[in-house]
Amino acid sequence: MSTIESVEEFRLRARSWLEENMPVLPAGTQVEPNYGLGSDEEELAEVQRNRDLQRRLFDGGLAGICFPKEYGGQGLTPAHAQAFNEEIVGYEFPDKIQVPTFTPCAAVLLEFGNEEQKQNHIPAILKGEEIWMQFLSEPSGGSDVAGAQTTAVRDGDEWVLNGSKIWTTGAWWSDWGLCLARTNWDVPKHRGLSVFMLKIHQPGIEVQRIEMLNGSKEFCQEYLDDVRIPDSDRIGEVDDGWTVGTGWMFYEKSYAISPLTVRPEAARGQSSRTKNPLLERARDAGRLDDPVARDLIGEARALSLAYRSLGTRVAKGIGAGKMTSHAAALARVMVAEETIRTATIEFELTGSSAVAWNTDDTKAAGAGVSFLMRQTTAIAGGTTEMSRNAISERILGMPRERTMDKDIPFRDVPRGPSAGAAPGDRS
């Protein structure tokens, strides 16, 4: 039986490999979210760059650190993943494809997929050959994931899907999706769902991009019209999709602490290879000696440390079985709070140039756009309101909210005109 590589041995190996093989970010470079504001050509080039970097990690034996070896991973521990996250600070990495490809999608495949599905897709994900998205939200559904109305009807060894999904980031340049669909309308909503793997670019699927007020076209809406997929692409049992969905929601909430994703993170007590963006903003604004600015920077630092500590505690607690999986909601709320407040602080430090900037002032533009888009962190990936409900009901044991559709066949649940009728209904 082979012994597992120690964390320190792994750290040194990763450090040496990164120095020799991964591009170093220029001093002071910060990875600014572009929110899909570049040209299509620029975004496609960025996606290809991410695929190439992921393949480079795979070929170097550093992809999928916590993925099983039989699927192309390294079979190591979360401690090894944390060491890698500390060592990769200051280097380019495939940031665009970490979420949702690795978590929740690959995590769902690992837990609920059969052996053939894992062998077919996990290695391809680790090589950067497949980028995955999650087809969850629907135009009529909001955060009520279990209220999905996209239908899947069995036809021999195939399923025929009809419906629409929305708010899928980057669907136009992605390869596969996890799709939640309704396979039974005659049982309560949680009992009539199934999960499928769906190749995005195939006959019957129309992907339309949604232009936001800021010009971004990163979000997409997908229309499924008699899309045929084999039963072999079903994940889990028929009508038992909520079992898969519960795990899916856990991985979605816990992406910020997942050992399956790469998240550059300076080790405690060590300085990052990149400059502190808030210090840079204060310096650019001539406010380094301003006690108000210094207080804001300190607040952001405290939030960051609290977020990291909470994330570590929750990850270890869930992993050790000392915390329920619902504790992932704690990290979900904290990452939103930290991100929103930090974006606000950066905006305040940048000053008037973050309100109106010229085309050459990319730093100010980044601060301004981040401030305008800050609230999306509390919405994307499941709203923080849903996570707060999970915390109150599932962790604190508070009374559950009253629901009007419990134990009612889903076809009999009242729906608004925009939702449409259930299949087979004449009304």
Q: How far apart are CA 95 and CA 343, in angstroms?
A: 19
Q: If DSSP codes are grouped into helix, strand and coil, which group holds residue 206?
A: strand
Q: Where are the beta strands (DSSP E) in 231-370?
A: 234-235
Q: What is the mean pLDDT of residues 365-383?
A: 81
Q: Kindly report, residue by residue over 307-362, the tens digit of the pLDDT.
A: 888 888 888 888 788 888 888 889 889 989 999 999 999 999 888 877 877 766 66
Mean pLDDT of the chain: 88
Residue 404 has pLDDT above 80, yes or no: no
Q: Kindly report, residue by residue over 10-27, the tens digit of the pLDDT.
A: 999 999 999 999 999 876
CATH superfamily entry for domain 276-395: Butyryl-CoA Dehydrogenase, subunit A, domain 3 (1.20.140.10)
- CATH hierarchy code of domain 133-248: 2.40.110.10
Structure tokens at 53: 């970097």
Residue 32 has pLDDT above 80, yes or no: no
Residue 95 has pLDDT above 60, yes or no: yes
Q: Where are the beta strands (DSSP E) in 231-348?
A: 234-235
Q: How far apart are CA 213 and CA 236, in angstroms?
A: 39
Q: If DSSP codes are grouped into helix, strand and coil, which group holds residue 426?
A: coil
Where do the structural domains in the chain lie, given as residue ranges?
19-98+111-130, 133-248, 276-395
Tell which CATH classification among 1.10.540, 1.10.287, 1.20.120, 3.40.1710 matches the domain 19-98+111-130: 1.10.540
Nearest alpha-carbon partner for 21 in 65, 64, 67, 52: 52
Residue 427 has pLDDT above 50, yes or no: no
Taking the CB of residue 323, how many other CB atoms lie within 10 A of it? 17
Q: How far apart are CA 63 and CA 50, in angstroms?
A: 13
Nearest alpha-carbon partner for 5 in 73, 76, 69, 87: 76
- Cα–Cα separations (whole angstroms), residue 258 to 16, 34, 92, 308: 24, 24, 20, 12
Highest mean pLDDT range out of 6-10, 365-369, 416-420?
6-10
Q: How far apart are CA 315 and CA 258, in angstroms?
A: 8
Q: What is the mean pLDDT of residues 245-273?
A: 77
Give the bridge partners for 240, in sequence order. 193
